[in-house]
Structure 1
């Protein structure tokens, strides 16, 4: 069997020794595709992708945090299909085609939902999901007026609970979504990513998929963005994705405050300018998002990556806020956060005046 570059890349990120599957998922073509891609993995039947004790909700798994992400994979069926209104980064949050991630960013909020490591779950009923989305898009009709999401298209975030660039290594769900939106004159897909999957360059998005590459200073990324593509690699990819027909934006996020943080951002913004052609700069826009952390995740991180918490957990700068789900989040104190954010925005205006800020908070 010939080994392709995609196979090599997939094996670097994922080498599942166990695939947990719902029987209904394994019967679907997409489920069979995933199982075939990892033929040597042990298959473990489960009643629900939400309830796998050795993966979810067991605090002793903290010691195996990254190992679980590499060695476990879950196949499930997405039960509830809704496109939730958003209005910030996107007009709607599309139904997930995956949940969890093989990467291990220390500040990620996704582990809060299932508990602890939260490896990738692939939803095999992709045909039902794309059918729902096509009908939802049709019901909206043309976008009546511009907003901060997009001047003309309804924007659907297709990667709220996962990273689509990594998901595309596991199944064709992301390719199917990109294909769906390529044929939609009134809508476009959008997802944020910290991973450069050059296999996506072989698809035909036709300008209807917005890829938002997340950026932070390289020094911070080495500490916080574990198992992701290095920042220089993300910068090198921007022009290539524009040339391939994607709309490319950047997420300056999360913005983490530490000694020398503004100097590091100045260097990154200079590197962004050096890395991008005029065609990329002309369509580039940014979201700027200050760090929000979580007390429970802080406790988890102390068990596997305590150095990250030295910059993420800053009681001297942060205040608590209870989330809608009842969790205790921490964020930079309101008055101070505004000053810190303004400092960064002033720096963007100075170092990257071409970079349109879509929103900042």
Structure 2
């Protein structure tokens, strides 16, 4: 019998080491919290403070910028309130949001978390992961995005692990994504399920040999070269992400592209065309590939926060060049005008059909 060789894992190009870690008392008592503490020690993280209670100290600095920089370099290991265990829908991505953390160490100047999470952007890792996983059976078959839908019913009940974090960015410190992959791959579920995670990082070595059972779709957030270079700080660059994409596809994972946020930069057709060509060259011919296309948008609140965080940004957030969309509860979002959206969508749909004909486009937004 011929031995099956494991895919070769690319060496990670970006690993985050927090300068400070805060650990609440309840988090330190949880099994997952203890596993994270062991990983922090193995990674050589020296400033780990075990707190006497469950309240984090104030993380505000001398000004908004100081608070931001301190928070971005801080990890907190906590137990979230019980309400967090009641999973919420997350259209158009998945049936339910499954958070193993909130916050991200990357410095993307368009960061959507700026409009979603309040306070200093500490990366909060949740220590109750085991309890959360044990409660997932009750959600199977109850979703409204993929469960039972005509277009995406084949995905089963879907759980999105990267709504408020990049799970691979912190995986070397937490092991949380691997724990989730193993649970989804080996658990006796009452119906078909899928774990979904997207990332801008490339440290996939610890995932390649896991018993994933084809129940985890690993997606890589990719963009045009100029967008990646200008606006996606402290991430693995797109070529490194594509090497990681190829490795997990070779390990039998269903994979995906999250092309986001799409921007009509100068020469965008050529840049995005080169990106799709690079994906086609990297992937095995039989890869199970999905694509999600998300155009750039911002809110008044996220714009204000991002300009505080990145005051020198060249990101285009000129409301005069956008169309305003209003939600049913009065929320405001600035998106590209209809003509621009139509042009972008038409080009992407044609380019995907030509360059990645086996890929399934899940949605455009």
Question: Tell me, what secondary structure is at the counterpart of 1:192?
Answer: strand
TM-superposed deviation, 1:328 = 4.2
Structure 1, unpaired ranges of 5+: 1-5
User: Do the aligned residues in 1 keep the contact of 2:142 with 2:157 (CA within 8 Å)?
Assistant: no
The structure-2 alpha-carbon separation of the partners of 1:146 and 1:319, relative to structure 1 and needing over 3 Å to count, comes to: closer
RMSD: 3.0
The residue number in structure 2 matching 1:102 is: 105
TM-superposed deviation, 1:44 = 5.8
Tell me which of 133, 137, 162 is aligned to 1:134.
137
Tell me which of 357, 360, 363 is aligned to 1:356.
360
Query: Please, what TM-score do these two structures have when normalized by structure 2?
Result: 0.83
- Aligned: 1:177 with 2:183: no
The residue number in structure 1 matching 2:51 is: 45
TM-superposed deviation, 1:230 = 0.7
User: Do the aligned residues in 1 keep the contact of 2:32 with 2:129 (CA within 8 Å)?
Assistant: yes
User: Do the aligned residues in 2 keep the contact of 1:90 with 1:149 (CA within 8 Å)?
Assistant: no
The residue number in structure 1 matching 2:292 is: 287
Tell me which of 297, 300, 311 is aligned to 2:302.
297
The residue number in structure 1 matching 2:156 is: 153
* Separation of aligned partners in 2, 1:42 and 1:244: 35
* Separation of aligned partners in 2, 1:36 and 1:75: 13
The residue number in structure 2 matching 1:3 is: none
The residue number in structure 1 matching 2:202 is: 196
User: Do the aligned residues in 2 keep the contact of 1:215 with 1:231 (CA within 8 Å)?
Assistant: yes
User: Do the aligned residues in 2 keep the contact of 1:209 with 1:247 (CA within 8 Å)?
Assistant: yes
* Separation of aligned partners in 1, 2:57 and 2:113: 16
Query: Please, what TM-score do these two structures have when normalized by structure 1?
Result: 0.84
* Separation of aligned partners in 2, 1:329 and 1:307: 22
TM-superposed deviation, 1:88 = 2.1
The residue number in structure 1 matching 2:256 is: 249
User: Do the aligned residues in 2 keep the contact of 1:256 with 1:311 (CA within 8 Å)?
Assistant: no
- Between the two proteins, the alignment pairs up a number of residues equal to 344
Structure richer in helix, relative to its length: 1
Which stretch has the larger CA shift, 124-133 or 311-320? 311-320
Question: Tell me, what secondary structure is at the counterpart of 2:77?
Answer: strand
Which stretch has the larger CA shift, 256-265 or 324-333? 324-333
* Separation of aligned partners in 1, 2:312 and 2:273: 24
User: Do the aligned residues in 2 keep the contact of 1:258 with 1:311 (CA within 8 Å)?
Assistant: no
Structure 2, unpaired ranges of 5+: 1-8
The residue number in structure 1 matching 2:5 is: none
- Aligned: 1:273 with 2:280: yes
The structure-2 alpha-carbon separation of the partners of 1:66 and 1:355, relative to structure 1 and needing over 3 Å to count, comes to: farther
User: Do the aligned residues in 2 keep the contact of 1:20 with 1:44 (CA within 8 Å)?
Assistant: yes
- Aligned: 1:215 with 2:218: no
